[in-house]
């Protein structure tokens, strides 16, 4: 049936022929394919019509199947396209023809975006303009084919986020093209156009897209936000190094670790005294004008960071700045913080971490993620009501009723630094999200003692990141603190009771329990977020988050490194008492460490007698020297309280990753006399280091009834410290290094941990084959 000409599509097509004749031909091809699929036209019949129309001496395209078909001339192709329009008018509705035209143009725009994204020399401004053109073309009328959209997303991910194939495979399913428009609008300009935003920033954008996808499909109805964020691409650090003539630092990573450690203070000073290239300097200034005077956190976002199997947890710096005052002061403060984060790429810890994982030859580049600090301003302080880290899997289970899939969280009042770092004499609240009633501590006096005692805040008046004692914090803020009834309980007469009505501060003591929050829907909502992210990433995940009293903010998301599953091996029941060295009955994982040849022991009672902070730091250096000298995975480290403690180093030896990375086990000793209490540290950056390095963690309580602790063997065996680390021989009274085979007639130390029975035993026995 013949239809009347439709002026809308006819005019649109005519304009397209004049403007983009190549696109007009693509429209014709699209119409031909659509009609052929509907059985409205036949390509062989069309060939005959073309032959007749061009008077091609009667030659037909049907030919011997064993010979090439006749070539189609340009005139023949032009005639074919004219027939496409003729039959489209005859068989298709005008709206169908217009739809084909718009779809072809939309698909071309998608291809144009991909082409520009694949060209590393394309200026980001030009790429952003083309993305906006794609998004604004015929909204609601034409949708690009799914294959074109997926290809465009993949190209944008490769250009702006990462070239890691597993990440691209996931990201292209969730991150919509409009998200890249947001990214480019928040990208700080640099001279070059080759940089990416790095792993931490990419993980955050992907997490948001996964949750928004679940929301659009009606599967997720909880509200969430991400902080106002800006991105400095990874090529910024290379431009900074070149601008300040610091090229010699690039190959520092190939030096011996001791040399790296000795030179790093100078490297950091060189970076912090450097100037920023003009374009980056101007871009940062413009960013600050947009943000205004809001406190900021400057986060590392390196190209290697937050990848599966090597998350670089805590290896690079994240710094808070108040961002108050004149634009000149704010810009200088910002650039000083960024330069310090840049310098952290050359710290011995990440270099050793990369060396351990075969990543040393990768040219590590550092993107920067600038985020507005989440929180409310109260009495001159700014902080969230609470913050924390959460995990879709629960690796450290304090009750046999907790399942690995329950997920867990570490919660703190104020900024989340106390949830991810081991800082001072403080304990976060740990919760199994699917079973929030199963607490780590049951007795009220224990809950009170092992709770949070300081709060991290941004002091707006002093322009400083500070830790404030909880009692001082509460007196200053009082009832104005949001969610106080859900976060605090009253410790009264050795009992914990909820806050109800007015409090009499002179009689009541408040303790951080999060009881009210954990009885609400919050654990379920947080677990739901983790489940959707794990489903999307196809890997267990961990996140950092904050809550300002009104809204939940997602700060970071990455694949979670999990300990390799160990077979269940029960503790042998035929070990002679004389061969038992120590035992454990709390927080025991499923693991085994066999054929150990060395034991490093730092007795808490000796450590606490050290006269100065410098002496304690020297103990950490001695441990680092032992770690570099002994054969990997043939020794264990036993020490006081909290290994790797930041802040009050009296609570534990202040080692870093490079000091412990070769040990098979890390054991923390809690004595009844003294201030040493292990922090069951699952969720901290420190614990993630242990997991990734396959270092087994175990707390020991030698003064508990029934505990085995062979004092004479551990404290009085011959000390090999002077032989293995002669530079630290003067520390023999504190650091004991036991050559197990030498003192036990050739036997080895074996540690069997039965997580099901919550028991562990270390014993001497012949080599295990």
Per-residue pLDDT tens digits for 577-593: 999 999 998 878 888 89
> What confidence score (pLDDT) does residue 672 get?
67
CA atoms within 13 A on the CB side of 598: 23
d(C-alpha 94, C-alpha 8), whole Å: 8
Two tokens, residue 14 = 């005519």
Per-residue model confidence (pLDDT) at position 4: 41
User: Is there a contact between 673 and 290 (Cβ–Cβ < 8 Å)?
Assistant: no
Percent of the chain whose predicted confidence (pLDDT) is above 70:
89
**Weakly modelled stretches of the chain, pLDDT under 70:** 1-7, 55-65, 69, 140-142, 305-315, 395-398, 421-425, 501-508, 561-566, 646-649, 672-689, 691-693, 769
Model pLDDT, residue 499: 82
Rg, Å, the chain Cα set: 32
pLDDT at residue number 59: 52
Helix (H) or strand (E) holding 754: strand 748-754
Return d(Cα 708, Cα 583) in angstroms, integer: 5
Residue whose tokens read 């410290």: 721
């Amino acid at each position: 049936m013949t239809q009347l000409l439709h002026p809308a599509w006819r005019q649109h097509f005519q304009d397209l022929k004049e403007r983009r004749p190549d696109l007009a031909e693509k429209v014709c091809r699209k119409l031909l394919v659509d009609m052929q699929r509907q059985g409205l036209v036949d390509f062989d019949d069309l060939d005959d019509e073309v032959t007749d129309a061009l008077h091609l001496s009667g030659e037909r395209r049907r030919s011997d199947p064993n010979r090439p078909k006749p070539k189609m001339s340009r005139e023949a192709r032009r005639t074919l396209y004219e027939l496409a329009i003729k039959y489209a008018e005859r068989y298709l509705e005008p709206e169908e023809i217009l739809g084909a035209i718009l779809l072809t143009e939309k698909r071309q725009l998608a291809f144009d975006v991909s082409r520009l994204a694949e060209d590393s020399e394309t200026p980001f401004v030009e790429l952003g303009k083309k993305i906006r053109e794609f998004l604004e073309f015929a909204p609601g009328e034409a949708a690009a084919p799914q294959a074109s959209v997926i290809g465009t997303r993949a190209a944008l991910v490769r250009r702006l986020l990462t070239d890691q194939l597993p990440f691209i495979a996931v990201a292209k399913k969730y991150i919509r093209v409009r998200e890249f428009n947001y990214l480019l609008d928040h990208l700080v300009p640099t001279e070059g156009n080759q940089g990416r935003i790095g792993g931490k920033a990419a993980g955050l954008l992907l997490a948001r897209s996964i949750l928004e996808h679940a929301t659009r499909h009606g599967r997720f109805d909880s509200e969430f936000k991400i902080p106002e964020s800006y991105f400095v691409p990874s090529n910024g650090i290379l431009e900074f190094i070149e601008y300040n003539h610091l090229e010699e630092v690039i190959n520092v990573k190939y030096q011996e670790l001791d040399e790296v450690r000795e030179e790093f203070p100078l490297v950091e000073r060189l970076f912090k005294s450097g100037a920023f290239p003009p374009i980056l300097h101007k871009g940062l200034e413009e960013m600050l004008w947009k943000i205004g005077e809001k406190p900021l956190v400057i986060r590392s976002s390196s190209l290697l960071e937050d990848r599966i199997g090597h998350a670089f947890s805590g290896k690079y710096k994240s710094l808070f700045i108040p961002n108050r005052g004149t634009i000149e002061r704010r810009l200088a403060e910002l650039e000083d913080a960024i330069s310090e984060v840049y310098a952290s790429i050359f710290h011995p810890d990440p270099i050793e971490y990369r060396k351990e994982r075969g990543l040393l030859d990768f040219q590590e580049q550092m993107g920067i993620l600038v985020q507005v600090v989440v929180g409310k301003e109260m009495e001159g302080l700014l902080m969230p009501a609470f913050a924390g880290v959460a995990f879709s899997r629960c690796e450290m289970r304090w009750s046999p009723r907790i399942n690995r899939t329950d997920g867990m969280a570490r919660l703190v009042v104020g900024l989340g630094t106390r949830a991810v770092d081991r800082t001072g004499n403080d304990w976060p609240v740990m919760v199994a999200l699917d079973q929030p009633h199963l607490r780590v501590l049951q007795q009220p006096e224990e809950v009170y003692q092992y709770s949070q005692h300081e709060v991290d805040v941004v002091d707006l008046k002093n322009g400083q990141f500070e830790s404030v004692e909880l009692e001082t914090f509460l007196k200053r803020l009082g009832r104005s603190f949001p969610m106080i009834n859900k976060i605090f309980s009253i410790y009264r007469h050795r009992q914990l009771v909820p806050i109800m009505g007015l409090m009499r501060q002179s009689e009541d003591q408040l303790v951080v329990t999060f009881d009210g929050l954990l009885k609400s829907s919050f654990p379920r909502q947080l677990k739901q977020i983790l489940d959707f992210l794990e489903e999307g990433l196809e890997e267990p995940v961990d996140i950092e988050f904050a809550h300002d009293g009104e809204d939940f903010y997602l700060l970071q998301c990455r694949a979670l490194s999990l300990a390799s599953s160990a077979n269940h091996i029960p503790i042998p029941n035929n070990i002679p008492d004389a061969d038992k060295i120590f035992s454990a009955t709390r927080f025991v994982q499923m693991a085994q460490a066999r054929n150990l040849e060395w034991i490093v022991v730092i007795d808490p009672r000796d450590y606490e007698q050290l006269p100065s902070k410098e002496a304690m730091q020297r103990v950490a250096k001695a441990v680092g020297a032992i770690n570099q000298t002994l054969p990997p995975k043939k020794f264990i480290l036993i020490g006081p309280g909290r290994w790797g403690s930041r802040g009050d180093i009296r609570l534990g030896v202040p080692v870093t990753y490079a000091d412990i990375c070769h040990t098979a086990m890390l054991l923390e000793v809690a004595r009844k006399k003294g201030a040493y209490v292990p922090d069951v540290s699952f969720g901290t950056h420190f614990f993630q280091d242990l997991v990734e390095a396959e270092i087994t963690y175990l707390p020991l309580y030698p003064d508990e009834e029934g505990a085995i602790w062979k004092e004479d063997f551990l404290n009085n065996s011959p000390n090999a410290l002077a032989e293995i680390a002669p530079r630290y021989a003067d520390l023999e009274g504190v650091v004991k290094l036991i050559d197990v085979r030498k003192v036990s007639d050739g036997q080895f130390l074996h540690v069997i941990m039965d997580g099901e029975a919550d028991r562990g035993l270390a014993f001497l026995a012949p080599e295990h084959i």
